[in-house]
């Protein structure tokens, strides 16, 4: 069981780092869109609107950032799915040892 906890912790840190990276890219896309109220203070960002919305500029740099954001969101979803499958298969062994 301690190995599963260690792997779970490392996996969580890795997915959290990717999520923070995606948030930073989403902020950059919103800045390029010229969202009103940007004064350097933290605020909420809409990851899905930045990645899949149609109201963004079509310059090459923004399209590249949107593509990168989509890849990061897919990586996060895949990370959750892979970990869910891993936990599903690890749980019967953990339940038998209790």
Q: Strands (DSSP E) along 1-98, which ranges?
A: none
Q: Which residue has the higher pLDDT, 19 or 36?
A: 19
Average pLDDT for residues 62-89, to the nearest whole number? Answer: 92
Whether 38 has a pLDDT exceeding 60, the answer reads no
Question: For residue 78, what pLDDT is reported?
Answer: 95
Q: Which residue has the higher pLDDT, 75 or 6?
A: 75
Domain spans of the chain, in order of start:
46-98
Q: Are 45 and 25 in contact (CB under 8 A)?
A: no
Rounded Cα distance, 76 and 74, in Å:
5
The pLDDT mean for the chain works out to: 83
Measured from the Cβ of residue 80, the count of other Cβ atoms closer than 10 Å reads 12
Question: For residue 59, what pLDDT is reported?
Answer: 84
Question: For residue 74, what pLDDT is reported?
Answer: 96
pLDDT tier, 57 (very low <50, low <70, confident <90, very high otherwise): low
Q: Are 80 and 12 in contact (CB under 8 A)?
A: no
57-71 per-residue burial string, b: 16 or more CB within 10 A, e: under 16: eeeeebeebbebbee
Rounded Cα distance, 93 and 71, in Å:
34
Tokens of 66: 């949107």
């Amino acid at each position: 069981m301690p190995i599963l906890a260690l792997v779970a912790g490392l996996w969580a840190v890795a997915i959290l780092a990717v999520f923070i990276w995606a948030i930073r890219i989403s902020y950059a896309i919103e800045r390029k869109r010229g969202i009103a109220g940007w004064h350097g203070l933290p605020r909420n960002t809409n990851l899905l609107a930045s990645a899949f919305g149609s109201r963004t500029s079509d310059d090459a740099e923004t399209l590249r950032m949107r593509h990168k954001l989509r890849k990061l969101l897919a990586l996060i979803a895949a990370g959750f799915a892979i970990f869910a499958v891993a936990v599903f298969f690890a749980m019967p062994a953990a339940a038998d040892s209790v």
